[in-house]
Amino acid sequence: MELIAAAALGKFIGAGLGGIGSGMAAIGVGNVAGNFLAGALRNPSAAAGQTATLFIGIAFAEALGIFSFLVALLLMFAV
């Protein structure tokens, strides 16, 4: 009985810890966008051609946050 309760508790704690991963990914995405903006303000004429690179960078930074989100979802609904 206590073991089941502990498992249920651990599930929720683990899902909550997964939120840290999402927060870290938010920092990463902010880094990418901020550095892009810093570069774009220095050389605005080159910025338009690099928006695709910006989105690719954001997508890759976001991917690892998505994995932690996925782990949280799996803990909440699948385990």
Partner 1 sequence: MTVATDQAAEASSKLSLHPMEQFTVRPLFGGTEIHWYTITNVTLWMAIAVVCTFLLLVYATRARALVPGRGQSIGEVVYGFVRNMVVDVAGEDALAFFPYILTLFMFVVFANSLSLIPMSFATTSHFAVTGVLAIAVFLTVTIVGFVRNGTSFLGLFWVTSAPFPLRPVLAIIELISYFVRPVSHSVRLAGNMMAGHAVMEVFAGFAIVLWISPLSIAAITAMYGLEIMVAVVQAYVFTILTCVYLKDALHPHH
Contacting residues toward partner 1, per CB under 8 A: 49, 52, 55-56, 58-59, 62-63, 66-67, 69-70
5 or 78: whose CB is closer to partner 1? 78
CB of 28 to partner 1, least distance (A): 14
1 or 77: whose CB is closer to partner 1? 77
CB of 5 to partner 1, least distance (A): 23
CB of 72 to partner 1, least distance (A): 10
Q: Are 1 and 33 in contact (CB under 8 A)?
A: no
Q: Which residue has the tokens 């220095």?
A: 42
Opening angle at CA 67, ends 66 and 68, nearest 5: 90
CA distance 20 to 60: 18
CA distance 11 to 59: 28
24 or 69: whose CB is closer to partner 1? 69
